[in-house]
Amino acid sequence: MKISVIGAGNVGATCAHILASKGFAQEVVLVDILEGIPQGKGLDMWEAAPVAGSDTRIVGSNGYGETAKSDIIVITAGLARKPGMTREDLLAKNTEIVKDVTQNVAKVSPNAILIVISNPLDTMTYVALKVSGFNHNKVFGMAGILDTARYRSFIALELNVSVEDVAAVVLGGHGDTMVPMPRLTTVGGVPLTDLLPKERIDAIVDRTRKGGIEIVNFLKTGSAYYAPAAAAVQMCESVALDKKRVLPCACWLTGQYGLKDLYMGVPAMLGKNGVEKVLEIKFTDDEKASFTKSAEAIRKTMSEAKVT
Ligand code: APR
């Protein structure tokens, strides 16, 4: 299993580090345009391997030769948000970067699975799909696991329970219109709606929607990276080990949920072939309306991206 991570900034380097500590990849290649950065970070991580007890070989490079024949490529290259910015503000610049990266990786790893993290996520995943020409089951985006992890962690905090026992899903686009699903959230099998009043659930849903900007406002110089990287590694693991985990991912819809030709966060079974199945939820009218609104927001951003 060879995994390349493009972008050796906060998300990329953290992702490579977690991948190395997990040990399921034989090789991790870290690529960036900044000279010396991927080499230095890669070497530093490799030097941690004897202490961490991992044999994952980490290589850093400014070129794509070393990424050849990757099984999975994680795309994190691009600008991150600063306070006052929406993810959509990154559109023009990150479209150029994701195009460039995708062209390069697709040339030398024509059979790879592409996992996109760059924002605005749903549209950047679309850019990677179009530019690579890969089948849509092999190109998908990381957002839902992150948004769900934020939601789960806030619920665990509120109820003072283990995060492990909060089962939940957040759907839709990776932005203000994301769709957390309280009706389907359980704590050790007990419905969340039996444990918290509506106004507390609404407050948690709101904090989840604004989870990214909450971190940006603290950091000031960039956006979140520990949780995004951990989420991407969970996707890599399900593919690499063919675990067939069902995780919320940005998937290309082909009629599911009555929608097609866009990326949206939906529950997906991830295995060695990438997205092997999209699972459909029977929505209530309110959930359906929120999901539709989110789809409209994604289509708007997609239509503004200069893909060709
Ligand atoms: N090719 C390779 N690497 C590139 C390119 C390119 N064409 N353009 C930029 N990069 C690299 C930068 O040099 C930088 O090291 O991408 C890296 C981005 O790292 P950070 O600035 O630390 O940003 P990060 O926090 O990692 O976020 C990256 O993920 O979550 C999203 O919104 C976030 O779009 C952003 C992306």
* Interval 241-277: pLDDT, tens: 999 999 999 999 999 999 999 999 999 999 999 999 9
The yes-or-no answer on residue 136 being catalytic is: no
Q: What is the dihedral of CA 51, 54, 56, 57, to 10 degrees?
A: 30
Could you tell me the distance, in angstroms and rounded to a whole number, from the CA of residue 223 to the centre of ligand 1? Answer: 11
Element holding 213 (H helix, E strand) = helix 211-219
Mean pLDDT of the chain: 97
Question: What integer pLDDT is reported at residue 179 of this predicted model?
Answer: 96
Closest atom, ligand 1, to C-alpha of 8: 15
Q: How confident is the model at residue 308 (pLDDT cuts 50, 70, 90)?
A: confident
Question: What integer pLDDT is reported at residue 306 of this predicted model?
Answer: 86
What would the pLDDT profile of 9-68 be if each residue is shown by its tens digit?
999 999 999 999 999 999 999 999 999 999 999 999 999 999 999 999 999 999 999 999
What would the pLDDT profile of 137-173 be if each residue is shown by its tens digit?
999 999 999 999 999 999 999 999 999 999 999 999 9
**Which amino acid is located at 73 in the chain?**
I
Question: What integer pLDDT is reported at residue 14 of this predicted model?
Answer: 98
Query: Has this prediction a pTM greater than 0.75?
Result: yes
Residue 267 phi, psi (nearest 5): -70, 125
Question: What integer pLDDT is reported at residue 22 of this predicted model?
Answer: 95
One of 38, 174, 240, 290 is an active-site residue; which one?
Answer: 174
Alpha-carbon span 277 to 282, nearest angstrom: 16
Which residue's entry shows tokens 């306070």?
A: 83
Nearest Cα neighbor of 305 from 139, 178, 127 is 127
Probe target for ligand 1 pocket from 67, 81, 223, with the most ligand atoms within 8 Å of CB: 223
DSSP assignment letter at 172: B
Q: What is the CATH number of domain 2-141?
A: 3.40.50.720
**Which amino acid is located at 162 in the chain?**
S
Question: What integer pLDDT is reported at residue 279 of this predicted model?
Answer: 98
Residue 208 phi, psi (nearest 5): -65, -45
Residues with CB under 6 A from ligand 1: 6-12, 32-34, 76-81, 90, 94, 97, 100-101, 117-119, 222-223, 225, 228
Taking residues 128-142, report their average pLDDT.
98
Taking CA atoms, 65 is separated from 77, 167, 301, in Å, by 17, 41, 33
Any residues with CB less than 8 A from the CB of 100 and at least 6 apart, and which?
Answer: none
Any residues with CB less than 8 A from the CB of 242 and at least 6 apart, and which?
Answer: 271, 272
Taking residues 100-120, report their average pLDDT.
98
Could you tell me the distance, in angstroms and rounded to a whole number, from the CA of residue 293 to the centre of ligand 1? Answer: 29
Alpha-carbon span 94 to 87, nearest angstrom: 10
Question: What integer pLDDT is reported at residue 307 of this predicted model?
Answer: 85
Q: Do 269 and 276 contact (CB within 8 A), yes or no? A: yes
Q: Which residues pair with 75 in a beta bridge?
A: 6, 116
Taking CA atoms, 166 is separated from 97, 163, 173, 268, 286, in Å, by 37, 5, 22, 19, 23
Which residue's entry shows tokens 């559109």?
A: 91
In the chain, what percentage of residues exceed pLDDT 90?
96
The angle that helices 10-22 and 37-52 make with each other, rounded to 10 degrees, is 30
Cis geometry, peptide bond prior to residue 120 (ω within 30 degrees of 0)? yes
In the chain, what percentage of residues exceed pLDDT 70?
100
Taking CA atoms, 14 is separated from 93, 233, 237, in Å, by 23, 10, 15
